[in-house]
Amino acid sequence: MVDLIQWTFDQKQPTIVTTSFGNHSAVLIHMVKEINPQANFVWIDTQFNTLETLKYKNELIERFNITVHSYVGETWDRDEIPLVNTLQHSNFVEQIKLEPFRQAVAQLTPAFWITGVRGEQTEHRKHMRQIDQDNGITKISPLLYWSTERMEEYLKTYGLPNETNYFDPTKVNGRECGLHTINLKQESLLVGP
Give the chain's length.
193
Residue 190 placed within a domain: no
Alpha carbons within 13 angstroms on the beta-carbon side of residue 57 total: 22
- Check residue 162 and give its pLDDT: 96
Residue 22 placed within a domain: yes
> Where residue 117 sits, what CATH number does that domain have?
3.40.50.620
In our burial notation (b when 16+ CB lie closer than 10 A, e otherwise), range 81-111 reads beeeeeeebbbbbbbbbbbbbbbbbeeeebe
Residue 192 placed within a domain: no
Residue 186 placed within a domain: no
Residue 141 placed within a domain: yes
Residue 78 placed within a domain: yes
- Check residue 189 and give its pLDDT: 44
Starting at the edge strand found earlier in the chain, the sheet holding 40-45 runs 67-72, 40-45, 15-18, 112-114, 137-140, 131-134
* Dihedral sign for Cα atoms in the order 66, 70, 76, 80: negative
Number of domains in the chain: 1
Q: 60: how many CB neighbours lie within 10 A of its CB?
A: 23
Rounded (10°) angle between helices 25-35 and 148-157 = 60
Closest CA to 81 of 61, 59, 65, 97: 97
Residue 188 placed within a domain: no
What are 116-168's pLDDT values in tens digits?
Answer: 988 887 677 787 889 998 778 999 999 999 999 999 999 999 999 999 998 88
Residue 184 placed within a domain: no
Enumerate residue ranges in the chain where pLDDT < 70: 1, 122, 173-193
- Check residue 148 and give its pLDDT: 94
pTM attached to this predicted model:
0.87
Residue 33: domain span: 2-174
